[in-house]
Amino acid sequence: LAVNLMMKLVREASHSLKNSPGGVDVEIIERHHRFKEDAPSGTALHFGEIVADEMGQTEHVHGRAGRPGPRPVCEIGYHALRTGDNVGEHTIVFGMMGETIDLTVRGHTRDSYVYGALAAAKFLAAQRPGLYTMADVLGLN
């Protein structure tokens, strides 16, 4: 549930900040357990797509190694950490001149997936047949 709300918050922040004087540097930092095979995660990439759609930032960069010089304004940076048994954490950093906004969502246990599935089942039981998303379940559309 929290990740879906976070997507809405990232969209709103990206839309609101897109014309900030001096530009906005966006970095996506995600952390998962050491056994996760994809890096960055699909969720991190989806956050990047939201930022790109709202802000028009076109270059997606994975890490900073081998990239000397000033950071281009059009970049979205991704950083993937794989440690221990971390269920999942995503931080979207909006860096501006003189201030920074960090939006973070953390999954402490996989139980949160069950709560999301239960909320979706309850929602669907009261709906007509059709295609719905978690944004519909949470009333975010």
Active-site residue set: 32, 36
13: nearest Cα among 53, 41, 44, 73:
53
Those residues whose C-beta lies under 8 Å from the C-beta of residue 39, and which sit 6 or more positions away, are 80, 82
Tell me the pairing of strands 88-96 and 25-32: antiparallel
Quote the radius of gyration of the chain (alpha carbons, Å). Answer: 17
Q: What is the DSSP letter of 22?
A: T
What count of Cα atoms within 13 Å lies in the side-chain half-sphere of residue 45?
6
| φ and ψ at residue 105, rounded to 5 degrees | -125, 135
The Cα–Cα gap between 141 and 99 comes to 30
